[in-house]
Structure 1
Amino acid sequence: MPRPDHTRALHAALLTAARGLPVIPLSRTKLPAIRSPHRDEPRASGCRGACGRPGHGVYDASTDPARIRALFAAAPWATGYGIACGRGPHHLIGLDLDVKHGTDGVAALAALAAAHNFTVPDTVTVLTPSGGRHLWLTAPTQVPNSVGRLAPGIDVRGEGGYVVGPGSRTVAGRYLLAPGTAGHPLAPAPSELLLLAAPPPPQPRPAPTPRHPAEKRAAALVRFVLDSHEGERNGRLFWAACRAYDAGLGDALAPALVTAAVHTGLTEREAAATVASAAAATRPRTPS
């Protein structure tokens, strides 16, 4: 026999789908109730439902009553439902306003509206178990998900996300329609809010700083030592150290040359002695 919470969630999901909002069943943890059919595959699957099996999270969402009933039948433990955001025809945006952990998303949204000169429209509003609320808005363009980017306590559920629907029961409690908002049409999001919620423009990558010729020379000498094979390690290290001292880089580059030689198999003592020999060999001789 179906559980009461399951039956209520299915009924509420069907009513929401009748408004043109695609839905999926959720577990008491607010996660999609149907596990992925690809969970035991050795590699992560990028399937979004093309396999024809349920269990693809928000990509299972539908407005078809028969499909919704089938999804809930496959998850008799479901006690809630999620509403896919960003999907046509409404392209729903869910503004999740938290009022916990020292944040007040409701006040933050009011401050944001005042600062950017827009009015938060009357729209469908869902009360959450923690005392927060979800505002349902529509948008003509795709809006990305974000957490706290608009302001602390304001999360945006957009393309690829979902909001918990009213009539759902979770471990935290029940989600309910705010009194007087059930009959509201879905209000368009203010253009100022859409601009704020849009993804930030990509930052241009700084042009690489040209390397000084001396840096290139030093890097090449270290690479020359690292490429040494058995039988040539001392000889290549000595040659590189001599070139470093000839170029006036010897004292600064000596530690790196020693480290590179140790990586090739020489002991630190051997490498240090070879570099010291190169320093002595390239030291200007004083006329007698």
Structure 2
Amino acid sequence: MTQQRPGDQRPGPFWAAARAHALSAATLHGLPAFPLTRSKLPAIATAHREASATCTGQCGKAGHGVHDASADPDQVRALFAAAPWAAGYGIACGRPPHHLFGLDLDRKDGTGGTDGIANFRALAARYDFELPRTATVVTQSGGLHLWLTVQTDMRIPNTASLLAPGVDTRGTGGYLVGPGSLGPKGRYRFAPGSGPRHIASVPTRLLELLLTSQAPERASQTLSPLGSPQRRLDGLVRTVRATRTGRNNCLYWAARRAFAASDIDPEIATADLLAAALETGLPEAEAQRTIASAAKGAARSKETRT
């Protein structure tokens, strides 16, 4: 990466702390970081003025927003040297090794304010899933950023209030404001007793809800309810389609979920999941073996429970 020269401008009053926090995240925890302004936007001006530019860093320059993020401490130092006005840092989601997925639970006070925390709790109760203890950041407005991880390199969407009012998601191509950053209303910080060492896996049901809600069929007026067998199968199929690496593992996971459900037709599940796997480029024979193995595993689990 070509380092941009900051000229004679001296670092701002919050630069050193932001740089130190970003280096800690990158060096100690492998989290890809890049500098942000106090308004929570990328601190380095865009490398391409053309609105149609599709470069995400291949040019070798800084100035590609979240695509600049790196866990290499030398790269992080270079990025901050190019942004002496930085007051915080962002952490890129969807990158190895953590494949970070963020839940942004917003909280707005006043008349008609939104409480994303309460709305998310209601969502979890409605669809019967629990959020495990995980790294949690308290935002400047009193909301929460919950850090989760997905098991494979699937593309997780960035959404705003799709799951519930005030519940946003940060996935592939998105970023979370790192703890220690200074925003317009205050500083981001880890919640008491929380930290980056433990990032829990995203609950399967939550992932299904998110990916199912993103399905193009959502606009149809003839859709069955979100919790119906077909909608749950649709969510599993969409998850398989979204996976770019670890495709076999994802297919096995989705097939086990489908075969374990007593109200999902195994023949329909087999056909739909096989078609989705083939769309990702997985060889047919390999996909068939994986689905058959998942069917046997689900059958053994049912026998054990009985």
Q: Give the TM-score range, shorter chain.
A: 0.5 to 0.7
What pairs up with 1:21-60 in 2 under 5 angstroms? 21-39=31-49, 41=50, 43-60=51-68
Aligned residue number for residue 147 of structure 1: 160
Query: Would the alpha carbon gap of residues 67 and 103 (structure 1) be closer, same or farther in structure 2, given more than 3 Å must change?
Result: same
> Following superposition of structure 1 onto structure 2, how do residues 87-236 of structure 1 map, counting pairs within 5 Å?
87-100=95-108, 102-140=113-151, 141-182=154-195, 184-198=197-211, 200-203=214-217
Other structure's SS at 1:149 match? strand
Give per-residue Cα distances to partners, 1:65-104, cap 9 Å, x unaligned: 0000000000000010000001111110110001105111
CA displacement at 1:184 relative to structure 2 = 4.8
Question: TM-score scaled to structure 1, two decimals?
Answer: 0.68
- Relative to structure 1, the CA distance from residue 53 to residue 118 in structure 2 (aligned partners, 3 Å threshold; closer, same or farther) is same
Residues 92 and 136 of structure 1 are in contact (CA less than 8 Å); yes or no, is this contact kept in structure 2? yes
SS of 1:144's partner is coil
Distance 1:116 1:184 in 2: 28
Q: Residues 20, 153 of structure 1: CA spacing in aligned structure 2 closer, same or farther, 3 A cutoff?
A: same
Secondary structure in 2 matching 1:34: coil
Runs of 4+ in 1 over 2 A off after TM superposition: 1-4, 199-206
Unaligned runs of 5+ in 1: 207-288
Distance in 2, matches of 1:76 and 1:50, equals 24
Counterpart of 2:118 in structure 1: which amino acid? A
Larger radius of gyration: 1
CA drift at 1:200: 2.5
Residue of structure 2 equivalent to 1:81:
89
State the secondary structure of the residue aligned to 1:203.
helix
**Offset, 1:4:** 4.0
Give the Å deviation of 1:201.
2.3
C-alpha distance 72-203 of structure 1, shift in aligned 2 (>3 A)? same
Partner letter of residue 95 of structure 1? Answer: L
Structure 1 position 125, deviation (Å)? 0.7
**Letter aligned with residue 20 of structure 2:** H
Which letter maps to 2:38? Answer: R
> How far apart are residue 30 of structure 1 and its match?
0.4
| Cα gap change, 1:69 to 1:194, in 2 (>3 Å) | same
Quote the offset at 1:142 in angstroms: 2.3
Q: What secondary structure does 2:217 align onto? A: coil
In the alignment, is residue 66 of structure 1 matched against residue 74 of structure 2? yes
CA RMSD of aligned residues (A): 1.8
Aligned equivalent of 1:216: none
Which runs of 5 or more residues in structure 2 are unaligned?
Answer: 1-9, 221-306
Equivalent AA in structure 2 for residue 129 of structure 1: Q
| Cross-structure match for 2:18 | 9
Q: Secondary structure at the match of 2:101?
A: strand
Distance, in Å, in 2 between the alignment partners of 1:84 and 1:123 is: 17
Contact in 2 for aligned 1:80/1:170 (Cα 8 Å): yes
**Structure 1 residues 53 and 71: CA distance shift in structure 2, 3 A:** same
Cα deviation for residue 183 of structure 1 reads: 5.8
Shift of 1:5: 1.3
- Give the TM-score normalised by the residue count of structure 2: 0.64
Q: Distance in 1 between matches of 2:219 and 2:124?
A: 33
